[in-house]
Amino acid sequence: MGNISITIDGSKVSGREGMTILEVARDNGIYIPTLCHSPVLTPIGACRVCVVEVEGSGTLVGSCHTPIAQGMVIYTHSPKVVEARRAIVELLLASHPDNCLVCDKANLCELRKIAADLGVGLPRFRAKKRYYPIEDTNPFIERDLTKCILCGKCIRACQELSVVGAIDYAYRGFQSKPATLLDQPLEKSSCEFCGLCVSMCPVGALSDRPAKYKWKTTRKVRTICPYCGCGCGVELNVRDQEVISVTPDGENPVNQGRLCVKGRYGLNFINHPDRLKAPLIRKNGELTESSWEEALDFVAHKLEEIKQKYGSDSLAGLSSSKCTNEENYLMQKFMRAVIGTNNIDNCARL
């Protein structure tokens, strides 16, 4: 494919055949706001915030789905473009709740960022507000569809990336919203609670319940999910040595920004108050803390005693899904090679 030369805001840039205006702009560090776009989803041009002016066309086009053509002259922040964007954002804000101060998305809200960039405060328009009850009956995802802007990212992510199709558009016109089959709660649908829709949502319509109102984290730690051998990349969002939430590592080539329910919502054991921090040995009927040396000697003695008295198959091992793949391998190796039994299993579930 040959290069195509175009002009964006007076700068000569080039792209490959088939690239969109938005892709070329981002490759060259030119900012165009978006709400419904994601580089991993099929562009649909739903929000229209990314409109640009193409010289000679006489109209504004959505940059996320318009392919480049040789000699195009494009303006991303002309008065006509800015006026259109302001109108679109004001229309969205007119039917959007004005409770930003108590919204869990807060300063991470894409709509709020774009409104600030455009200098939009109170919208000029008055619209009928939509009110939906907050859905917080399941332990993973909270849905507040009153804040939904119908960008469709959650729907497309569920259908294109997770390939589950648990949600789709329901109803028509102003009453449209993302919903499950027959508008049932998520836990009664085919939803696998992977949390991908939460990652995609640009506003506060979807949020992680375990991290609700825990606010800003101070650092991110990139690591590998411990649950299975896939090697999915995760980012631990940490504050004061506490893991507040887990998000997928978008740069990891294995999962490419996706996680299963275990990887996203199953790591709360890290800071759980019931987590054991030292070995316990029952002495005089009570569990008491001991050193690792004492505990390992005690276990080794008991295993040898049982094996000698009842045989190797009288023993069994149950490994943990919260251990690493390598640790689980060592556990089965120990049971088979040292103890001499195939009685080994793993709770490979959440």
pLDDT at 349 over 80: no
pLDDT in tens, 140-158: 999 999 999 999 999 999 9
214-275: CATH class: mainly beta
CA dihedral 60, 66, 67, 73 (to 10 degrees): 20
Query: How confident is residue 350, by pLDDT bands cut at 50, 70 and 90?
Result: low
**What's the confidence (pLDDT) of residue 72?**
93
What is the CA angle 64-70-71, rounded to 5?
A: 100
Q: Give the integer Cα–Cα distance in Å for 224 and 231.
A: 6
pLDDT at 1 over 60: no
Enter the CATH code of domain 130-209: 3.30.70.20
Query: Of 170, 173, 178, whose CA–CA distance to 201 is shortest?
Result: 178
Query: How confident is residue 105, by pLDDT bands cut at 50, 70 and 90?
Result: confident
Boundaries of every domain in the chain: 1-128, 130-209, 214-275, 311-346
pLDDT in tens, 190-212: 999 999 999 999 999 999 988 87
**What's the confidence (pLDDT) of residue 99?**
79
Cβ atoms 170, 178 nearer than 8 A: yes
Q: What's the chain's average pLDDT?
A: 90
**What's the confidence (pLDDT) of residue 171?**
92
Summarize the confidence of residues 34-48 as an average pLDDT: 92
Query: How confident is residue 83, by pLDDT bands cut at 50, 70 and 90?
Result: very high
**What percentage of the chain reaches a pLDDT higher than 90?**
69
Query: Of 251, 248, 253, whose CA–CA distance to 263 is shortest?
Result: 248
pLDDT in tens, 112-127: 999 999 998 877 887 7
Summarize the confidence of residues 105-118 as an average pLDDT: 89
Summarize the confidence of residues 23-50 as an average pLDDT: 93
What is the CA angle 189-192-194, rounded to 5?
A: 135
Please name the fold of domain 1-128: Ubiquitin-like (UB roll) (3.10.20)
pLDDT in tens, 293-348: 999 999 999 999 999 999 999 999 999 877 777 888 999 999 999 999 999 998 76
